[in-house]
Amino acid sequence: MEALKLYMVIIGCTPPGRFTEQHDVFFGIGASMKSLIPAMKAFWPEAKGKIHVDAWREVSNVEGHAITVIPNDGITEANHQHDLSLFFLNLGGYKEGEFEEYHYKMLAVAKDAAAAIKEAKKTTFYKHTGYKGAESHVDDKYGIDVDDIYLLKDILNQSYKQQYRLFISEEKEVNLPEDVLNIGYYKLDKL
């Protein structure tokens, strides 16, 4: 059996009644991108199967922490792992004179949301997308405009959560290869 991996995928489509392409982030667990196609279609039913992939990565390294998929063996998380969690953050920002809100999607390994946001503040995106009057959104709760922040384990599809769990290495690994970012327009039948 092939090793299962966590995938982070940017999917796009132009749903009926919309004038611009829309995007969302899909997280799935599978042996390959191709194995995720039915789950991606089910994730966005309004697209009526007319979706494509704009970017994807096998998530195996987040900030030097190895991320692996393991069977959900019924052991409670408290008995199974340390106190680190994997967070998905969607940051928003602006550039002067450009009629657009830009977004930066990132993963962070941290003990809590505040620590994950602290990591987000170190990104080039956070430092360079915003100006007086249109700051990189300051949210009273977090001190940064985080359009969205989620514990990854909470946003995985229930079927994945029933079968698998994510294991995050407690110690950072120095020689862990960086995740490959696959960026471009991918039709589902070409995966």
Could you list the mean pLDDT of each consecutive 10-residue stretch along the chain, which spans 191 residues?
Answer: 92 92 96 97 92 97 96 63 87 90 92 91 87 64 63 94 93 93 94 89
> What are the chain's domains?
1-60+176-190 (3.10.20.10), 74-158 (3.10.20.10)
Contact assessment for residue 143 and residue 116, using Cβ atoms and an 8 Å cutoff = no
What's the pLDDT score for residue 1?
64
Predicted local distance difference test score (pLDDT) of residue 143? 47
Listed in sequence order, the residues at least 6 apart from 136 whose beta carbon sits closer than 8 Å to its beta carbon are 91, 92, 93, 94, 125, 126, 129, 130, 144, 145
Q: What is the pLDDT of residue 130?
A: 82
> What confidence score (pLDDT) does residue 81 get?
56
In this prediction, residue 129 carries a pLDDT of 87
pTM reported for the whole predicted model: 0.89
Which contiguous run of DSSP H or E holds residue 25? Answer: strand 22-30
